[in-house]
């Protein structure tokens, strides 16, 4: 979820940067701070994107599915019969290199 949000934010920032860079300034003294804020935002998002991408490279993968019987559930059904079922828990262990 966070990765998708980051990519969407980065896309919006790139679009805003392209729009701002194509606009012609009306006066040489105006817009200096706004351009600095936009440039700083783009650089900051680029650094955050690179850091997030490097965190995903921990080379972990999910192993085979494992299941284990951890108990038994017993109950009376609507016909008054006593029934028991096994409680089974399944998981996938992570293997990291």
- For 18-75, the pLDDT digits (tens) are 666 665 665 555 556 777 778 888 888 888 777 766 655 567 788 899 999 888 889 9
Structure-model confidence comparison of residues 96 and 14, the more confident one: 96
Under 8 Å between Cβ of 38 and 50: no
Q: Which two tokens stand for residue 63?
A: 């192993």
56 CB-side CA count, 13 A: 8
Looking at residue 79, its pLDDT comes to: 94
End-to-end Cα distance, the chain: 25
Query: What pLDDT does residue 32 have?
Result: 62
Higher pLDDT, 90 or 58: 90
pLDDT at 55: 58
């Amino acid at each position: 979820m966070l990765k998708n949000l980051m990519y969407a934010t980065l896309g919006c920032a790139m679009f805003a940067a392209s729009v701002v860079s194509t606009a012609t300034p009306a006066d040489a003294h105006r817009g200096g701070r706004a351009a600095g804020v936009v440039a700083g935002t783009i650089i900051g998002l680029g650094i955050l994107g690179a850091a997030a991408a490097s965190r995903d490279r921990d080379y972990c993968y999910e192993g085979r599915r494992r299941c284990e019987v951890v108990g038994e559930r017993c109950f009376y059904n609507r016909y008054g019969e006593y029934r028991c079922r096994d409680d089974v828990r399944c998981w996938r262990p992570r293997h990291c290199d």
